[in-house]
Structure 1
Amino acid sequence: MKPKILLLHVPHRTRKIYLHDYYTSYSSKAYYYWSPADLILISGLVRDFEVKVIDAIAERLSFAECEARILSFSPDVIIFTTGTATWDNDLLFLQRIKAKLNCLLLGSSAIFIFEPVYFLENFPFLDGLILDITSPEIIDFITGSRDDNRAIAFRRQDGSLHLPRREEKEKVFTLPVPLHDLFPYHLNRSPLARRKPFALVVTSVGCPYSCRFCVVGSLKYRYRPVENIIEELQYLQKLGVKEIMFNDPTFTASRKRIIALCQAMKAKGLNFTWVANAHVATLNEKMLKYMKASGGHTLMIGVESANQTILDRYAKGISVEKTKQVFRLCQKYGFRTLAYFIIGLPGETRETILETIRLSLELDCDFASFAIATPDIGSAMREEAIKQGLLSPETRIFDSTAFPVFAGGNLSKEEIWRLRQQAIRKFYLRPSYIFKRLTRMRSWQELKVHLEQAQAMFFP
């Protein structure tokens, strides 16, 4: 008899919307939600078992409602995702479930990759921590083959810990098509999406860049071959999905691969519209032409700061002038842009943040995200902050959309928060911006989305 596997997005006790989005986690302050990328990828690996998905965040389930659903299914294995914004809440709920259900409990998160010992030693009800969401050795662990498992950290029967070494992996990997039909993709929503329903697709993991505030660059950049991605896209088209969010940390890392993917999408008649993350250093005219022709309409680009000293300190690998050129190029080819900014990086001053706010207006981007600098577990910035006494190593709960947990010396946490709120107001409450958004809307549905987004941002 095949094991019953539950892929679980744990409910939050407040019923707030939290995203666990490729090794990051944060609360949704605006009109957006999508199911966790790691659970989607893992669903393909376990497709030969009896699989059920409960996305308690998407369905806004209470602890009691979610518990009842879990006990009704009575899984042999629960695979869950968590992150820095919610792990205390999530593990509290899972401890309660484990006490009532004799099942294998496996977790996926960046916090487990970088601190497996802490979580295995302090939370004995956890049976294993997934360190590689692309590995078929997850299946080996589930079926009982655990010796020398390279994908999962776990506690042996004698109490000792099995901690896989971080080995070099093949740069190219293939995945079975994820079980998108089990996820509530009809509940996904984003102000960036042009059409509904939309689904998440991950074509690569890790990142070739090594920004010091980010953990993803610590994970080896690996990618799926074009034909493997096309197989998944064809399946999504059969499901009636209209829009794709390519959820790679750096979708545009390889120009050659992305141009080949865009050509294949056109050749196969895949008529999606789509959104993706991009790095300033990777974008050029040729790539933008192919992306636009295959349905691309919005690029999410990490700008972070307007101050070159700050960019260099955190190894961003871009110049402010290059950023301006790329945003102009995106406009030339009809792409909408979302610019990511970080407020409160150690070393910043009030003036460098005001400089960043001014740049957000100058770029004339369509959307802007102003995140609070957070000491992500596994990032170089976190290690520096701990060494400098700016942060306790015990600080493991934080959210880039919430009040800061640390400050870099030049500014207080209160000042950083005020400047972040100022940035949001200055960007989104400009009469010229409001007029531009209204004139570019294509449907009443899009107007409704933006009104709900505004309500969530300014009247939470």
Structure 2
Amino acid sequence: METVLLLNPPGKKRYIRDYFCSKVSKSGYLYPPTDLLLQSGLLARDFRVSALDAVAEGLSPEAAIERVAASRPDHLLTLAGAVSLGEDAEFLARLRRAVPSIRSAVGIGDLFLENPAAALERFAGLDAVAVDFTADGPGRFFAGRDDHGLATRGGGPGAAPARGEFSIPVPRHDLFASPRYRYPFVRRRPFAVVLTNFGCPYRCSFCVMPGLGFKSRAVENVLEELDLLKARGCRDLYFNDQTFGADRPRTRALLEAMIRRKYGFGFVCFTRVDLMNREFLLLLRRAGCHTVMFGAESADDALLESYSKNITAGGVMAARAACRELGLRTVATFILGLPGETEESALATIAFAKRLDPDFASFNLAVPRMGTPLRREALDRGYADPENREMDQSGSRASLATESLAAERAEALRNRASREFYLRPGKILGRLLDVRTTVDALNLTRDGLGVMADAARGLWRERKGSGR
């Protein structure tokens, strides 16, 4: 039987390359890459599968190549990211030269979403790229079949937008059991990443997900995986759906089944505030949810509408209040620096975040990601450099400079937002009182140090920029 290696390449920083999101980990967290995890079960039907997460293991490029050479795989399925584009291209080219046993290699990553055939020209170490990692395209490609549906160096058709329902073999969670994995919002270990849908049916124009289409996973297929995780002793879950609950009937059926089966999992999920009515939140809590993440983005309703977010600041406030009433922790994400943002609207968003007072907040700068309407707008208006394809989705550094907000000022506002939100005495006390488990305490320590370091870096950059 031929072999396939699932690879998360090494990096100079702690990169997260996962589900078309690539960024530098803000507080050092890292979790099993969803793309490789879901492919592990699909590929295991026809191949012997192994995995190497060189980021989790802290391997240098040389050590990673040595490890791959020792396993002599026939095929390679690897991640690559816009955040580490240059490093990834160089490493994969070196790897193919150093390990001649690798007959074919397929990549998955956000940098391939805009023009995959053109992007492949920068990657001598890859033969094709996959988009739908819930489908068996990579396995078909490795088997030499023509009906793989991948984009190739010669052009290839690529995948059509996803739709309908899907089922997959249970992923090989045993291949991704590193003790170095952690996620800042899980409360117990061990934890696992689970996917119940692929893509997103919403149209937010700053996000890559609308271009993927949307499909839901069969409920019984998800439950089969949860049965295995329960038997393995898993205690917490991270549902890595882009919008958990987007298919409300299936999500309801899943949550009700989790309640009936008494799994006892705690879990984290990301959803939308316009889905977060009290009935849905109560069902989430009964099924074990302890933390709900959602995109608040901005206090400016006009800005939210212009980027097709289709929510309002009032709706965000109502969703937060419902979570507080039911005892659910909240994580709100915000975007600063979108075209149309002004200093005044950014300051209003910072003030709004403090009034909203979620348990956690993530302040990010707008990033013109591959294949998004935001990128097209930014290029058309001269706000972004078309040659700059290396970008960090965490938005720690500005990728856009608009007529109303300079890049340096957007960065300063983002740093101010994080400082003002987290360094309030009441917020610090609230975080201390929220500690329930050993994992909570460890996360608080790591994340608190991360916030302090981030604040210090931001102040240093601001003072350096002002000449002080």
Q: Does TM-score exceed 0.5, indicating one fold?
A: yes
- 1:267 positional shift: 1.8
Find the aligned partners of 1:91 and 1:167 in 2 and give their Cα distance: 26
Could you tell me which residue of structure 1 aligns to residue 229 of structure 2? 236
Q: Which residue of 1 aligns with 2:466?
A: none
Identity %: 37
Structure 1: distance between partners of 2:163 and 2:305: 30
Q: What do the CA deviations read for 1:25-65 (whole angstroms, capped 9, x no partner)? A: 11112152112111111111101311111011111111121
What per-residue deviation string (whole Å, max 9, x for no partner) do you get for residues 138-186 of structure 1?
A: 221111112x432x1113xxxx43233x535441011111101011353
The 5 A counterparts of 1:23-422 are: 23-48=20-45, 49-102=47-100, 103=102, 104-146=104-146, 148-150=147-149, 152-155=150-153, 160-164=154-158, 166-167=159-160, 169-399=162-392, 400-422=394-416
- 1:444 & 1:161 partners in 2: Cα distance? 51
Shift of 1:283: 1.3
Q: Matched residues in 1 for 2:31 and 2:53: separation?
A: 10
Q: Deviation of residue 273 (structure 1)?
A: 0.3
Which residue identity is paired with 2:39? I
CA contact (8 A) 1:113 1:130 kept: no
The equivalent residue for 1:434 is 428
Measured against aligned partners, the alpha-carbon deviations of 1:179-220 in whole angstroms (never above 9, x if no partner) come to 010113532212211101111101111111111111101211
Deviations 1:225-284 (A, max 9, x none): 110000111111122111000001001212222121111112222111000001111111
Once the two structures are superposed, residues 370-392 of structure 1 have per-residue CA deviations (whole angstroms, 9 ceiling, x without a partner) of 01110000110000110111112
Q: Secondary structure at the match of 1:119?
A: helix
Deviation at 1:133, TM superposition (A): 1.1
Q: Unmatched 5+ residue regions in structure 1?
A: none
Q: Give the counterpart letter for 1:153 in structure 2.
A: A
CA-to-partner distance for each residue in 1:354-404, whole Å, 9 max, x for gaps? Answer: 111111111120000001110000110000110111112221111134321
- SS of 1:249's partner is coil
Q: Does structure 2 conserve the Cα–Cα contact (< 8 Å) formed by 1:31 and 1:449?
A: no
CA contact (8 A) 1:55 1:184 kept: no
Q: 1:408 corresponds to which letter in structure 2?
A: T
Query: Does 2:1 match 1:7?
Result: no
* Letter in structure 2 aligned against 1:245: Y
CA RMSD of the aligned region, Å?
A: 1.4
Q: Which letter maps to 1:82?
A: A
Counterpart residue identity of residue 85, structure 1 = V
More displaced stretch, 52-61 vs 128-137: 128-137
Kindly indicate whether the alpha-carbon contact (under 8 Å) linking 1:19 and 1:33 is maintained by their aligned counterparts in 2: yes
Letter in 1 for 2:216: Y
In the alignment, structure 2 segments of 5+ residues that lack a partner are: 455-468
Answer whether contact 1:6 1:77 (CA < 8 A) is retained: yes
In structure 1, what is the Cα distance between the partners aligned to 2:451 and 2:15?
15
Cα distance change, pair 312–326 in 1 and its aligned pair in 2 (3 A): same
TM-score, with normalisation over the residues of structure 1? 0.95
Q: 1:59-89 deviations in whole A, cap 9, x for unaligned? A: 1111121111100001111101122111211
SS in 1 for 2:417: helix
Query: Match of 2:166, SS?
Result: coil
- Superposed displacement of residue 299, structure 1: 0.5
Residue identity in the other structure for 2:179: H
* 2:459 alignment counterpart: none
Matched with 2:448 is 454
SS of residue paired to 1:369: strand
Distance 1:31 1:167 in 2: 35
Instruction: Pick closer, same or farther for the CA change 1:111–1:100 going to 2, 3 Å.
Output: same
Q: 1:234 to 1:191 in 2, by over 3 A?
A: same
- 4+ residue runs over 3 A deviation: 166-170
Q: What CA distance in whole angstroms lies between the structure 2 residues aligned with 1:265 and 1:11?
A: 37
Q: How many residues align?
A: 450
Of stretches 291-300 and 448-457 in structure 1, the one that deviates more from structure 2 is 448-457
SS at match of 2:30: coil
What is the DSSP-based 3-state SS (H/G/I as helix, E as strand, rest coil) of the residue aligned with 2:401? Answer: coil
Q: Which letter does structure 2 place at the counterpart of 1:320?
A: A
TM-score (norm 2): 0.93
Q: Distance between the aligned counterparts of 1:442 and 1:427, measured in 2?
A: 22
| Aligned residues of 2:163 and 2:214 also touching (Cα < 8 A) | no
Give secondary structure in 1 for the equivalent of 2:427: helix
Paired letter, 1:135: A
